[in-house]
Each structure stands twice: as structure tokens, then as C-alpha cells.
Amino acid sequence: MRRTRPRLWIAAGLALAVSTAGLALATSARAAAGCKVTYTVTNQWQGGFGANVTIDNLGDPITGWRLGWSFGAGQTVAQLWGGTVSQTGAQVTVTNADYNASLPTGGSASFGFNGTSGASNPAPASFTLNGVACTGGTAPTTPAGGTFTNPVVWQDFADGDIIRVGDVYYYSASTMHYSPGAPVLRSYDLVNWEYAGHSVPRLDFDSNAYDLNGGRAYVKGIWASAFNYRPSNSTYYWLGCTEFNRTYVYTSANAGSGWGKKARINKCYYDAGLMFDNDTPYVAYGNGTISVAQLSSDLTSEVRSQAVYQTPSSIGTLEGARMYKRGNYYYIWLTRPANGQYVLRSTSPWGPYEQKQVLLNLPGPISGGGVPHQGGLVQTQNGDWWYMAFTDAYPGGRMPTLAPITWSADGWPVLQTVNGRWGATYPRPNLPWHPVTPMTGTDTFTGTTLGPQYEWNHNPDTSKVSVNNGLRLSTATVTGDLYNARNTLTRRIQGPSSTATIELDYSAMANGDRAGLAMLRDTSAWIGIRKDNGATRISMTNGLTMSTSGWTTTGTGTERAGAAISGGKVWLRVNADIRPGSGRTATFSYSTDGVTFIGLGPALTLNNDWQFFMGYRFGVFNYATQSLGGAVSVSRFTVSTP
């Protein structure tokens, strides 16, 4: 039954439902959004309740939905099916499952959950679907207008490749030793991005070092790589060289999932860019000497290759290739690490190429950060061009940074600057507004798989991990060195500062186990639980270090503060300021009730050297120093900003 405003009613005993409705006129020239939500409490018990939620899409078709609401009486979602939930305070967000992601006009999707409640359990007063209020009518979605601020993503996503498929933009990045690798971000307006998935589900690169088995792969693995889409077979491709001697090709019909290894080519296409020209695959690659290779139609072998440009000594070194075709010209987009950008141009993929400087020593938008460089170009569906570079901003890493590109009368790309520097702000791209899933927030590990925001330090031992309305980590390694421990689960830090909080059940730890929350890089520290001789202790430990020569461990850490703790549950928190410069610190605290946090140990000054390449991350770990068998459970993991 359609109503003109939200109403509540009670029927069939404990059933409580809300239907949101209303009326608005859609503008036919623009996409229309509209929805109705029916929220039904199916049963209640002391301290809890069950509910079903149905979404009716009244607007244009949707591929991927996110429903939001606020509870009014302290309720929480404890277990949800038919989607993925995150909750921060009263605010709840439910994202579609794979099977119910598509909502055609007039279509519906449903999910259910069990929740906790107090003496009262009022229904939510309103809902939003993909950021649009569910009023029961439709309204046009319009371009956002205004300006945006750089970096557009203040998280560590370096060596980016960027493409557009239809009205959707994808961004791929390097991840070194983190698994799964080659993350894929998704956007609809080039400014607001969300996690979509990974192109490399596991670091299957013919070495046990990626499993922390007989070796380690720190600063190896996935460096700058290529990402593209082939319309002729509706397939996405990822291509990357590992350890300077071989190149792997992965493919999928879906940018965010379903990726598999297609080929191994016994040649390194270093810092490669992939282009399809009339369906023929070409790869531009190299360091100093820039080459082009034509690959076989199935991208499993090389047809021919040729050096096309030798970087003059006056420039230094060029690398980080991306390859494009615009009009009659082929362009190779190249970086001079880490302060310049150049472009080559030719009427043939095989040259000869002429060269032009795009930028050099251009001040960037992050105070204390570096010069925006590398990355790639993308053309919008409106014909505009944009350049997504990254800015070195250690200790946090390398941050995606966006600027408009125009073209000179004679066909060269021209970067648009603001007062002689890369703009801290620019007018937004002329693209429709479209909501995305926030890259921060609370994860309660509903369902049985991890979300795309997570990556392990090296490949995980999946036999020691389970996800089922909580994350359970059984010890997988006997070691005294966190850098050798398998199954450390990481999330990126949101800049310029953010806070990670986990709720940890340590009741099943064994003697000798160490579990907690780390600031993870080549200089690390952690807060967590030590269990020895049957007693548990809250501990802040720092002094975990690696050598830049071979990335061997030079320090396994020393406890700087600690105290006895009991009760089996603790909340661990790390506040991280990753701004370049003197601020760059992390502080550590804990709570036994989730409300009052107690600082523990000294602040960690974050290492801002670049040689490790990857920025700091939050990492959840559990390892044994005596024998396997212990376990911990994490019921929620929150990354929040001030």
C-alpha cells in the first residue's frame, strides 16, 4: 500500500513495519532516482529483535545499492543476511550481496537481520538508497557542481592506472607484498571512490616467499602494472611484471570480482601500460629505454617488440608508461621519478616518437608532500580529459591526485594548474552525482568473506582464518617476529589523520601468543595482548624495525608499557596522524568497556622514508611464540576520521 508519508503500524502480534512514500516529479532529460522501503519487525525478545527490510526501486535501474538509516534508541545490527552491514553509532549502512545487486525499475530486494535493543525499539524514521532519500517518488540526479579537494583519495594507492567503461571509472594500484593484490577502486564522478575488489586474488608468483614460507617478499610483488578493458570480449585485463623477470596476466568479466590468472610471459614488461588499438593489444614499458610490444590476441605471448625511445641524459630516467591513442597519434605517458611528467607522441605505435615535458618540480596540493606525477589519463563520457597522478606523502604513502587536462592546437596534452601549482581544489568534473560506499566506517564481518578494503601482509593461511559474523584468527606461525607472522590483516589509514578501533576477544589465546593492533611498516609498533604462564597482559610494544638492505628484521620490539588485564575482551585503538612533516605520530590506547580509553606507552614517530614504498597501515595480528592452537576473534573493526 502506497502512502503519502511514513507511517507505523502494528500487525500480526510483534510485526512492526515502516513504509516510506511520497511524490516528486522526475525530469525526463536526467536520470531519476526514487525508492520505497518497508521495514518489518518480525519478532522481539528480551534485549533483541528480528527484522526484514524490502527495497522497491521506483527510479532508473540500479547496479549496486546501499541503504542507509539511523536507529533512534541505541539499537544495533548483530547479524544480517542478504547484504553486508556496517554501523557507526546510530548510523547503519547495508550494501547489496552479489545476487541482489541489480535493481531494475519496479524491482525489489530484501534482506533480514537480528538486532539488539533496549526497552524501546522504534522503527527508523527515514531511509536513503545510494544517498537519495526514499520518499516513494522519483527525483532527478544532477551533476554535483562546486569544487573538489585534492587528494581525491587520501589513502595509499600508488602507481595508478585509470580507465572508463561506460559511465563507470576504475582505478588500479600497486600493492607490493600485500594480498590480495592490485586493488580496484570504482567511481562515477572521478572524485568519490569506493573499493570494488582486487585483480590478483592471491600472490601466485612462483615463489614461496609470498607465503612467508622459507623467505619473505617485502617490497616485491605488485609494482606499477597495467589495467584495461577490451570491448570486443567484454573482459578486464591486469598485466604486471614481478621481480624484473616475468609478467603475469589476469582477466575477469567483472572489474570487482571473478579474476583469474590467464598467462605467464617469461619477459618483464616493466612499468607497463596496456592499450587496445582496433582490438590489437600493445604494451609500452621500460626504464630509460622505452619499448613497445605487440601481444598475441589472447595476451599470452609476444608477437614483436621494439625500443622506441631512449631517454636523454638531460632528463634522467623515464618510466611508469601508459599508452593511449587520440586521433591519429599514439601517446606514451611517462614519469621522471619523482618530480616530473613527460609525454611521447607518434603517428605509429613503433615510432619515431617526439617528446614534450608536461610538468617538472610542480608544487603539489599536500603540505609537506611531493610533486604529483605518474598515473594516467582518462576521457569522460562528455569528452573532457583528466589526469590522475599520485603525490608522495609519507608516512601515509602515495595519494591519488586529480587535475584537468586540455589539448593544445597542435595536439599536446596541457595540465591545468592554479597559480603555478597543482590545484588544491578544482571545479568538479561535469559528471552526474552518484553515491559510493565510504572507504571508512565500521565492519562487523557479517557474511563469510572479507570486504575489498582488506589486504593481508603476504598470502594468508586460509585454514587459520574464518569469517562468519566476526573474524576469527587462529595462530598460523610460531615466531618472535611480527614481520614473519602470517595472517596479519591490514586496512589503509585515512589521511590526514584517522583512528582504528577493534573489539578483540582474547579468551581463547594460548600461552606465548601475541595478538593486537599494529601500526605496520618497516618501523612498527603495536598495542595488544600478551599471554604468558596463564596470565594476560595489555602491552604497548615498539622498536619493530627492518633494514632497507634486503628488508631483514633488525628489531623484534620491546614492551614500553603494560598492565595485567582480565575479562576476555578488550577494545584496542590507534590514532594515526600521517601528514608529512613533524606531526606524523601514532598513539595507542585501550578500553575494557568500549567507552573509556586509556593511553598506553609513548607515541610512535612515523618513518617517512620512501624506500619501503608502501605507507603505514593498521594491522590486526595473532601469532604464537610457543605453539599453535590459540585464537582470537574480532567482532568489529572501525576506521574513523575526526
> What string of H, E and C letters represents the secondary structure of 108-135?
EEEEEEEEECCCCCCCCCCCEECCEECC
Given 335, 362, 389, the domain boundary residue is 362
Give the model's confidence band at 574: pLDDT under 50 very low, under 70 low, under 90 confident, else very high.
very high
pLDDT digits (tens, 9 = 90+) for 597-637: 999 999 999 999 999 999 999 999 999 999 999 999 999 99
The answer to whether the Cα torsion of 601, 602, 603, 605 is positive or negative is negative
Q: Quick one: pLDDT at residue 217?
A: 98
Domain interval for residue 578: 441-640
Taking Cα atoms as reference points, which of 131, 130, 110, 127 lies closest to residue 62?
A: 130
Burial, 227: exposed, middle or buried (Cβ in 10 Å; 0-12, 13-18, 19+)? buried
Same domain, 98 and 232: no
Q: Quick one: pLDDT at residue 12?
A: 30
For residues 344-351, average pLDDT:
99
Same domain, 134 and 198: no
Q: How far apart are CA 115 and CA 41, in angstroms?
A: 10
Judged against a pLDDT cut of 70, whether residue 6 lies above it is answered with no
* Residue 550: inside a domain: yes
For residues 527-554, average pLDDT:
98
Judged against a pLDDT cut of 60, whether residue 19 lies above it is answered with no
Give the model's confidence band at 137: pLDDT under 50 very low, under 70 low, under 90 confident, else very high.
low
* Residue 292: inside a domain: yes
482: CATH: 2.60.120.200
CB 598 within 8 A of CB 605: no
Q: Quick one: pLDDT at residue 9?
A: 28
For residues 248-275, average pLDDT:
98
For residues 132-155, average pLDDT:
77
**For residue 336, what are the contacts with CB-CB under 8 A and spacing of at least 6?**
315, 316, 317, 318, 342, 360, 373
Same domain, 349 and 484: no
CB 351 within 8 A of CB 291: no
CB 386 within 8 A of CB 405: yes
Judged against a pLDDT cut of 80, whether residue 119 lies above it is answered with yes
Q: Quick one: pLDDT at residue 74?
A: 87
* Residue 484: inside a domain: yes
Q: How far apart are CA 362 and CA 469, in angstroms?
A: 48
> Which range has the worst mean pLDDT, 115-124, 337-346, 419-428, 523-532?
115-124
Owner of C-alpha cell 606531526: 583
Q: 482 φ, ψ to 5°?
A: -55, -35
Provide the number of structural domains found in the chain. Answer: 3
CA distances from 445 to 8, 210, 468, 487, 639 (A): 31, 25, 7, 16, 14
* Residue 75: inside a domain: yes
Same domain, 26 and 169: no
Same domain, 229 and 316: yes
Give the model's confidence band at 408: pLDDT under 50 very low, under 70 low, under 90 confident, else very high.
very high
Query: What is the distance of C-alpha 382 from the center of its chain?
Result: 27
Judged against a pLDDT cut of 50, whether residue 437 lies above it is answered with yes
Q: Quick one: pLDDT at residue 138?
A: 53
Same domain, 185 and 90: no
For residues 247-265, average pLDDT:
98
For residues 357-385, average pLDDT:
98
118: CATH: 2.60.40.290
148 or 24, which is more confident? 148
326: CATH: 2.115.10.20
Same domain, 130 and 168: no
Same domain, 345 and 261: yes
Residue 357 has a CB neighbour count (10 Å cut-off) of 11
Kindly report the length of the chain.
Answer: 642
* Residue 377: inside a domain: no
What is the percentage of the chain residues whose pLDDT exceeds 90?
Answer: 83
Q: Quick one: pLDDT at residue 105?
A: 87
CA distances from 601 to 45, 152, 520, 522, 526 (A): 43, 34, 17, 19, 10
**For residue 275, what are the contacts with CB-CB under 8 A and spacing of at least 6?**
228, 281, 282, 283, 284, 323, 324, 325
Give the model's confidence band at 142: pLDDT under 50 very low, under 70 low, under 90 confident, else very high.
very low
Given 317, 335, 362, the domain boundary residue is 362
11 or 175, which is more confident? 175
Give the model's confidence band at 434: pLDDT under 50 very low, under 70 low, under 90 confident, else very high.
confident
Same domain, 225 and 129: no
H, E, C per residue of 147-213: EEECCCCCCCCCCCEEEEECCEEEEECCCECEECEEEEEEECCCCCEEEEEEEECCCCCCCHHHHCC
Same domain, 88 and 192: no
Give the model's confidence band at 204: pLDDT under 50 very low, under 70 low, under 90 confident, else very high.
very high
Same domain, 492 and 447: yes
* Residue 422: inside a domain: no
Burial, 339: exposed, middle or buried (Cβ in 10 Å; 0-12, 13-18, 19+)? middle
Q: Quick one: pLDDT at residue 1?
A: 33
Q: How far apart are CA 261 and CA 281, in angstroms?
A: 18
Judged against a pLDDT cut of 80, whether residue 92 lies above it is answered with yes
* Residue 297: inside a domain: yes
Helix ranges, 335-493 (H): none
Judged against a pLDDT cut of 70, whether residue 378 lies above it is answered with yes
Judged against a pLDDT cut of 70, whether residue 15 lies above it is answered with no
Q: How far apart are CA 341 and CA 417, in angstroms?
A: 14
**For residue 314, what are the contacts with CB-CB under 8 A and spacing of at least 6?**
none
Judged against a pLDDT cut of 50, whether residue 23 lies above it is answered with no
pLDDT digits (tens, 9 = 90+) for 288-340: 999 999 999 999 999 999 999 999 999 999 999 999 999 999 999 999 999 99
Q: How far apart are CA 631 and CA 405, in angstroms?
A: 52
CA distances from 230 to 197, 273, 274, 299, 386 (A): 19, 14, 10, 11, 21
Q: 316 φ, ψ to 5°?
A: 110, -115
Give the model's confidence band at 13: pLDDT under 50 very low, under 70 low, under 90 confident, else very high.
very low
CB 496 within 8 A of CB 578: yes
* Residue 150: inside a domain: no
Q: 354 φ, ψ to 5°?
A: -100, 160
Give the model's confidence band at 527: pLDDT under 50 very low, under 70 low, under 90 confident, else very high.
very high
Cell numbers given for 307: 625500443
Given 108, 140, 172, the domain boundary residue is 140
Same domain, 196 and 118: no
Judged against a pLDDT cut of 50, whether residue 541 lies above it is answered with yes
β partners of residue 54: 38, 110
CB 422 within 8 A of CB 612: no
Q: Quick one: pLDDT at residue 144?
A: 54
Q: How far apart are CA 400 and CA 280, in angstroms?
A: 29
Mean residue pLDDT across the chain: 92
Give the model's confidence band at 419: pLDDT under 50 very low, under 70 low, under 90 confident, else very high.
very high
